[in-house]
């Protein structure tokens, strides 16, 4: 009995997963890289390119015309072709071998049957799957994911620069701390994302083509004069992939795990931004401008809910949940081969779609936010205790005794107004020069470098 059964035709309303259901319209381009169709098409590509390279290495090179005939099988690969492979898979219960039978059928139709025996020669399933998946990940990254993350980062940077002079009270442990600027706090997230984007762009993508258990046994036996390790490296290099010189039947997954870790870190930065924005909205520092016609609550008409940030936060967590399992399990295979990696990787596309959805959702939600300067300024005016750090620091530069303790008596657990602060300054025993300097101190001037960050985020 086959492990798969062809499902009835269905649309997104019948999908079990929200990624292929409610949110498919937001991320359906991911299926170009991660889907049964994409997997089959990449396998066809790798089989054909390998065949062309293999024949050249054994001194039976194909002329350009025949190479084009072969490459057109991949170029013209259709959903009908995909279904042909699927039906064979249902019959024989082997998805990669089904691709081989599909190619035999195509070669027969194109009257190149003399090449049939060379299809998949010296290869094993993981050689094809490893290479095809590496191509999918690389192209997904380059064409879809990195541009989306860069677009989000650009949006954050733009807002941070626009708001570089908007002073607000920061919070540590949920309580008012010292003044900062809205711009700097957002720039922090931009910088974190930029670091991760740079790392992601520098990643290498690798695969392995080494035969049944990693030793090129079959090819060394049939063609002992050829250096098959070098052939494999050269072949993968032409596909812009690194190669594993040593492996079992399964690739070690080191390259792919580095990629998963990079996505996880990006998800964490986005999730942290989502949570902070949510809290600033709850505190009244930010407001949401609703899109016309949207409903915030089924019962409370006044509400504009931060659902874009909440959606993003949720799917970064779900994405990282899958990526955590992949990261831990992929590098571990029993002896020379088991299929746990293959089954786990079937949901890689879902986790990456979730990450992409989170990125898009946060960017769209950021377009809706506005800054409530009235609430922000009210807190600045009413909480002079937030400059206590500056007071005790300056007093430490004098002979004033126990500056920290004296300022703590004034401020700890208390709300300090401008009047209370000025009275304290008038009464302390310090020079007029120090008093004059302290009198110029306020929540609007005690901002350090928080509005001088632009050079740091170039």
Closest CA to 175 of 371, 420, 443, 415: 415
Helix (H, G, I), strand (E, B) or coil at 208: coil
Answer for the pair 136, 33: CB distance below 8 angstroms, yes or no. yes
111: left (phi over 0), alpha (psi -120 to 50) or beta: left
Question: CA 430 to CA 439: how far, in whole Å?
Answer: 12
DSSP string for residues in 206-223? EE----TTSS-HHHHHH-
Burial classification of residue 273, based on how many CB atoms lie within 10 Å of its CB (0-12 exposed, 13-18 middle, 19 or more buried):
buried
3-state secondary structure of 15: coil
Strand ranges (E), 234-315 = 242-243, 286-288
Give the single-character DSSP code of 62: P
151 has catalytic annotation: no
Cα 110 versus chain centre, distance: 42
Largest pairwise CA distance in the chain: 101
Q: Which two tokens stand for residue 170?
A: 């920061």
160 is catalytic: no
Q: How many residues does the chain have?
A: 458
Listed in order, strand segments (DSSP E) in 222-307 are 242-243, 286-288
Task: List, in order, residues 6 or more apart from 356 with CB less than 8 Å away.
Answer: 27, 30, 144, 145, 148
Distance CA 138, CA 141 (A): 5
DSSP annotation of 142 reads: I
Of the candidates 105, 104, 95, the one whose C-alpha atom is nearest the C-alpha of residue 129 is 95
The secondary structure of 93-126, three-state, reads: CCHHHHHHHHHHHHHHHCCCHHHHHHCCCCCCHH
Cα(39)–Cα(452) distance, integer angstroms: 49
Catalytic residue among 9, 114, 173, 298: 173
Q: Which of 78, 158, 291, 297 is catalytic?
A: 297
Active site (catalytic) residues: 173, 297
């Amino acid at each position: 009995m086959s492990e798969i059964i062809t499902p009835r035709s269905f649309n997104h309303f019948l999908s079990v997963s929200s990624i292929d259901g409610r949110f498919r319209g937001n991320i359906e381009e991911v299926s170009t890289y991660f889907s049964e169709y994409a997997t089959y098409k990449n396998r066809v590509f790798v089989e054909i390119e390998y065949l062309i390279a293999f024949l050249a290495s054994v001194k039976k090179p194909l002329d350009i015309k025949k190479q084009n005939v072969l490459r057109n099988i991949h170029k013209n690969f259709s959903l009908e072709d995909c279904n042909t492979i699927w039906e064979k898979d249902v019959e024989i219960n082997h998805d990669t071998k089904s691709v081989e039978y599909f190619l035999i059928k195509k070669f027969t139709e194109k009257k190149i049957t003399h090449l049939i025996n060379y299809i998949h020669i010296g290869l094993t399933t993981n050689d094809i799957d490893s290479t095809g998946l590496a191509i999918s990940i690389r192209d997904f990254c380059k064409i879809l994911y990195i541009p989306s993350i860069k677009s989000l980062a650009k949006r954050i940077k733009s807002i941070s620069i626009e708001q570089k002079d908007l002073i607000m009270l920061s919070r540590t442990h949920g309580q008012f701390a010292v003044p900062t600027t809205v711009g700097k706090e957002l720039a922090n997230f931009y910088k974190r994302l930029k670091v991760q984007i740079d790392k992601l762009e520098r990643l290498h993508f690798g695969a392995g083509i080494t035969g049944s258990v990693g030793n090129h046994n079959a090819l060394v036996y049939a063609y002992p004069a050829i250096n098959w390790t070098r052939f494999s490296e050269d072949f993968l290099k032409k596909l812009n992939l690194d190669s594993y010189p040593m492996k079992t039947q399964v690739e070690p997954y080191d390259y792919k795990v580095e990629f998963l870790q990079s996505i996880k870190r990006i998800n964490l930065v986005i999730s942290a931004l989502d949570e902070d924005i949510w809290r600033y909205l709850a505190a009244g520092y930010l407001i949401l401008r609703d899109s016309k016609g949207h409903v915030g609550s089924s019962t409370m008409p006044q509400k504009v809910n931060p659902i874009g940030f909440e959606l993003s936060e949720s799917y970064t967590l779900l994405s990282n949940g899958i990526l955590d399992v992949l990261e831990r399990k992929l590098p571990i295979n029993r002896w020379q081969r088991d299929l746990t990696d293959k089954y786990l990787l079937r949901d890689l596309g879902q986790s990456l779609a979730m990450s992409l959805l989170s990125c898009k959702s946060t960017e769209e939600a950021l377009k809706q936010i506005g800054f409530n300067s009235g609430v922000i300024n009210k807190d600045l005016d009413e909480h002079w205790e937030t400059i206590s750090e500056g007071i005790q620091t300056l007093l430490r530069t004098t002979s004033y005794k126990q500056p920290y303790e004296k300022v703590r008596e004034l401020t700890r657990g208390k709300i300090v107004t401008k009047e209370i602060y000025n009275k304290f300054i008038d009464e302390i025993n310090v020079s007029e020069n120090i008093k004059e300097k302290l009198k110029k101190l306020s929540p609007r001037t005690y901002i350090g470098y928080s509005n001088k960050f632009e050079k740091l985020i170039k």
